[in-house]
Structure 1
Amino acid sequence: MAELQPRIALLIDADNAPAEKIDEILTELSTFGVIDIRRVYGNWTKHALIGWQNKLLEYALRPMQQFDYSKHKNATDMAMTVDAMELLYTEKPDAFGIVSSDADFTPLVMHLRFKGAAVYGFGAAQTPKPFVNACSRFLYLEALGEDAVLESAAEAVAAVAKPVAAAGAAPQQGGGNGAPPAGPGDKPAATCVAVGPVEGSCLRVPRNQLRQDTRLMNLLRSAVNATQDEDGWARVGAVGTQIGNKASFDARNYGYATLTKLLAATQAFDLRDEGTSRVAVRDKRAARARSGN
Structure 2
Amino acid sequence: MANKAHPARQQQLLAVLIDADNASAAIVEGLFEEIAKFGVASVKRIYGDWTQPNLGSWKKVLLDYSIQPVQQFAYTRGKNATDSALIIDAMDLLYTRRFDGFCLVSSDSDFTRLAARLREEGLTVYGFGEEKTPKPFVSACDKFIYTEILRADAGEAQAEPVASDDKPQPSAKNEQPDEPLKTPDKPKAQKVPVDFIAKVIEDIDDEDGWVQLGLLGSNISKLRPAFDARLYGFKKLSDLIKGHPKRFELQVRGSSATGGEALYVRNRKVGK
- TM-score using structure 2 length: 0.79
Query: Is 1:72 matched with 2:54?
Result: no
Give the alignment partner of residue 238 of structure 2, picking from 230, 244, 260. 260
SS at match of 1:112: helix
Change (3 A) 1:182 1:149: farther
Q: Does the 8 Å contact 2:19/2:105 carry over to 1? A: yes
* Aligned match of 1:278: 262
Q: For each residue in 1:101-127, what CA deviation from the matched residue of structure 2 results, as whole angstroms up to 9, or x when unmatched?
A: 101111110111111111111111211
Q: Does the 8 Å contact 1:12/1:41 carry over to 2? A: yes
* Aligned match of 1:242: 219
**What does residue range 36-115 of structure 1 map to in structure 2 within 5 Å?**
36-115=42-121
Q: Does the 8 Å contact 1:227/1:235 carry over to 2? A: no
C-alpha displacement of 1:79? 1.0
Q: Which runs of 5+ in 1 are unaligned?
A: 159-179, 186-190, 196-201
Q: Which runs of 5+ in 2 are unaligned?
A: 1-7, 169-181
Change (3 A) 1:182 1:233: closer
Give the alignment partner of residue 203 of structure 2, picking from 204, 215, 226. 226
Change (3 A) 1:267 1:181: closer
Provide the alpha-carbon RMSD of the alignment: 2.9
Matched pairs, number: 244
Give the alignment partner of residue 150 of structure 2, picking from 144, 147, 150. 144
Change (3 A) 1:67 1:91: farther
* Aligned match of 2:131: 125
Change (3 A) 1:182 1:245: closer
C-alpha displacement of 1:282? 1.6
C-alpha displacement of 1:7? 0.8
Q: Does the 8 Å contact 2:149/2:183 carry over to 1? A: no
SS at match of 2:199: helix
Give me the whole-angstrom Cα distance separating, in 1, the residues matched to 2:88 and 2:72: 12
C-alpha displacement of 1:251? 1.9
Change (3 A) 1:90 1:134: same
Q: For each residue in 1:25-48, what CA deviation from the matched residue of structure 2 results, as whole angstroms up to 9, or x when unmatched?
A: 111101211111010000011011
- TM-score using structure 1 length: 0.73
C-alpha displacement of 1:88? 0.4
Give me the whole-angstrom Cα distance separating, in 1, the residues matched to 2:195 and 2:76: 45
Q: Does the 8 Å contact 1:269/1:281 carry over to 2? A: no
C-alpha displacement of 1:146? 4.2
Change (3 A) 1:243 1:181: closer
Give me the whole-angstrom Cα distance separating, in 1, the residues matched to 2:244 and 2:153: 22
Larger deviation: 269-278 or 98-107?
269-278
Give me the whole-angstrom Cα distance separating, in 2, the residues matched to 1:149 and 1:47: 28
Give me the whole-angstrom Cα distance separating, in 2, the residues matched to 1:110 and 1:136: 9
Report sequence identity in percent.
39
Q: Larger Rg: 1 or 2?
A: 1
* Aligned match of 2:189: 204
Structure with the larger RCO, 1 or 2 (CA within 8 Å, 6+ apart): 2
SS at match of 1:30: helix
